[in-house]
Amino acid sequence: MLQERKFLKGPELRDIDDYDFPGFQKALEMGPEAIVEEISKSGLLGRGGAGFPTGKKWELAYQEEGENKYIICNADEGEPGTFKDRYLLDERTLKVLEGIMIGAYTIDADTGYIYIRGEYSRQIEILEETLQKARKAGILGEDILGSNFSFDIKLVRGAGCYVCGDETSLLNSLEGMRGSSRSKPPYPISKGLYGCPTLVNNVESLACSAEILNQGAEKFASMGTEESSGTKLVSLSGDINFPGVYEVEFGSASLQEIIEDLGGGSQQGQEIKFIIPGGLSTPIVPSDNLQAEYSYEGLQQAGSSVGSGGMMVISTAQELSDILTRIARFYMDESCGTCLPCREGNKQIYRIISEAKYAGLTVDRLNLIQDIGDTMQEAARCGLGRSAQLPIGTILSEYKEELIEGGNLP
C-alpha cells in the first residue's frame, strides 16, 4: 500500500528559536556557484505549474548583472484545487523562509517579496510574525549570521485576482499597476521588478531548495524517476474520502493508488468519472487511465500534466454540465481582459456552456467551443488564456455523446 514519502512534510516549524537554519548556513559556506550546482544536480523542476528547472533559473539569475536584484516567493496560490502552498506556509514556515534566503544569497538579492493571496489571512498573520521575529533574531537584516550578506523580505498581500499568480502579472501588480500580464521576452530573470533582474519561485520550489541543501541533492535525486526527481505535494479534493495535502514520491504510485491508498477512495464508493490531476489548468484524465504513473512523464503520456499538483476527483454522481459551467466561469471571471481572444473567447464559451444546461449541446456548438478554445490556445498572451481549453476541451471530447444527448433539444 502506498505511503507518503516525507521530504518536505514534517512537524510544525514556525518558532525561530527552534531552528538554526542549517541549510542557509551551509549555503553561506558553499557560495553561490556550488549552490547552483547542487540545486541543478537535484533535478528540481519548478512546482508552480510550469516545471522550469530551478537550478537553471537560479544560474541565469546569478549570472545577471544589476545593482538591484530581487527574489519573489510566489504565494498567490489561486488555482482551483490547489492548497499545498498553504500547508507549507502554515506548517513549514521557516523552511519557506530558508528557501527564500538561500535563493537571495545565491543570486545576491538584497530585497525579497512574498506575494501572498489576500484571502490567506491566517497565513498572512503567521508570516508577519515570522518576519518580525526573524529580524529581531538577526536572521533577516544586516550581515546575517555574521556574514556579509544583508537581506530583508517584504510581505505583500494580493487582492483577489488569480491572474496575478502569473509571474509577469505579479510584477505589474507589485509595481502598483493593474495585474495584467507582460509579454515575454524580456523574462523576469533579466528585466523583472522595476526593470531589474528578478527570480520568481513558487513556495514549494523554495521549500524544496531549502531541503535540498539540508538533506542533500543526492537524496532528492535518488527519489522519483529519471525525469521527475523528488517528491510532490498533492492537494487532493473533490469526491474523495480523505481530502488533504499528501507528499508523493514521483514514480512510486499510479493515480489510482494515490486516490485509493492516500485519499481513501471516492466518496460513498461512487464510481470515478475522471480526475483533474494538476489544478484547473490541466487536461482531465478519464477513469480508464488512472493506472498512469504519477510523474511528469507519466502524466504527459496520459495526456495531462503535473501542473500545481491540485488533484480533483470527479465521480459519476456529478452533473457534468455544472462542472463544465464552473470551469468556464472561472476562466471568464479571472481573465484580465488585456487580449481579445481570452477576454471574448472565455465569455463566449461560458455563454454556450451555461445555456447548454437547458438548451442542450449540439455538434455545432461543441465545434464552436473547440474553435474558440483553439484560437485562445494559439493567440492568448498568458497561461490563463492558453490553458482554458485544456480541461474544457478534454471534457468535451471525452464526453461528447453524453453532453449532446444530455440536453433537452432534439
Partner 1 sequence: MQKEDTDILLEMAHDIQDTYGYIPEKEIAELAEKLSESRATIYGALEFYSMFYTEPTGKYIIRICDSISCYMNNSNEVLEAVQDYLKLEAGETSDDKLFTLEVVECLGHCGEGPVMMVDDRLHTQISPGRAVEILSKLH
Ligand X SMILES: Cc1cc2nc3c(=O)[nH]c(=O)nc-3n(C[C@H](O)[C@H](O)[C@H](O)COP(=O)(O)O)c2cc1C
Q: Taking CB under 8 A as the rule, does residue 237 contact partner 1?
A: yes
Of 54, 180, 231, 305, the residue at the interface with ligand SF4 (CB under 6 A) is: 180
Alpha-carbon gap, residue 136 to 138, rounded angstroms = 5
For residue 275, give the H/E element and its range.
strand 272-276
Q: Taking CB under 8 A as the rule, does residue 165 contact partner 1?
A: no
Binding mask 318-337 for partner 1 (x = CB under 8 A): x---xx--xx--x--xx-x-
Cβ(235)–Cβ(306) under 8 Å? no
Nearest to 249 by CA among 222, 226, 230, 277: 230
Cis peptide before 186 (omega within 30 of 0): yes
Alpha-carbon gap, residue 216 to 232, rounded angstroms = 17
Q: Taking CB under 6 A as the rule, does residue 299 contact ligand SF4?
A: no
Residue with cell 468556464: 328
Q: Which residues are 234's β-sheet partners? A: 246
Q: Which residues are 232's β-sheet partners? A: 248
248 binding partner (options ligand X, ligand SF4, partner 1, none; Cβ < 5 to 8 Å by kind) = none
| Total of chain residues touching partner 1, rule CB under 8 A | 58
Alpha-carbon gap, residue 219 to 224, rounded angstroms = 10
Q: Taking CB under 8 A as the rule, does residue 259 contact partner 1?
A: no
Q: Which residues are 272's β-sheet partners? A: 315
Number of neighbouring beta carbons within 10 Å of residue 47: 27
> Which amino acid is present at 402?
E
Using CB under 6 A as the binding rule, the residues of this chain from 328 to 387 that contact ligand X are 382-384
**Largest CA-CA distance found in the chain, in angstroms, rounded:** 77
**Shortest distance, CB of residue 19 to ligand SF4, whole angstroms?**
39
- If DSSP codes are grouped into helix, strand and coil, which group holds residue 164? helix
Return the number of the residue (181 or 394) whose C-beta is nearest ligand X. Answer: 181
205 binding partner (options partner 1, ligand SF4, ligand X, none; Cβ < 5 to 8 Å by kind) = ligand X
Using CB under 6 A as the binding rule, the residues of this chain from 104 to 163 that contact ligand X are 162-163
Alpha-carbon gap, residue 54 to 235, rounded angstroms = 21
Number of neighbouring beta carbons within 10 Å of residue 391: 26
Of 121, 291, 301, 367, the residue at the interface with partner 1 (CB under 8 A) is: 121
**Within 13 Å of residue 405, how many CA atoms lie on the same side as its CB?**
4
The stretch among 30-38, 46-54, 240-248, 355-363 that binds ligand X (CB under 6 A) is 46-54
Return the number of the residue (195 or 337) whose C-beta is nearest ligand SF4. Answer: 337
Q: How far apart are the first and last CA of the chain?
A: 49
Residue with cell 504519477: 294
Binding mask 61-90 for partner 1 (x = CB under 8 A): -------x--------xxxxxxx-xx----
**Shortest distance, CB of residue 182 to ligand SF4, whole angstroms?**
9
**Shortest distance, CB of residue 206 to ligand X, whole angstroms?**
7
Binding mask 195-224 for partner 1 (x = CB under 8 A): x-----------------------------
Return the number of the residue (82 or 237) whose C-beta is nearest ligand SF4. Answer: 82
173 binding partner (options ligand SF4, ligand X, partner 1, none; Cβ < 5 to 8 Å by kind) = partner 1
Q: Taking CB under 6 A as the rule, does residue 74 contact ligand X?
A: yes
The stretch among 11-19, 227-235, 337-345, 349-357 that binds ligand SF4 (CB under 6 A) is 337-345
| Total of chain residues touching ligand X, rule CB under 6 A | 23
Tell me the chain's radius of gyration from C-alpha atoms. 22
Backbone angles phi, psi at 277, to 5 degrees: -80, -20
Q: Taking CB under 6 A as the rule, does residue 114 contact ligand SF4?
A: no
Nearest to 120 by CA among 153, 170, 155: 155
Return the number of the residue (93 or 205) whose C-beta is nearest ligand X. Answer: 205
Residues of the shown chain interacting with ligand X in the complex, contacts defined by CB under 6 A: 46-50, 52, 74, 76-79, 162-163, 165-167, 200-202, 205, 382-384
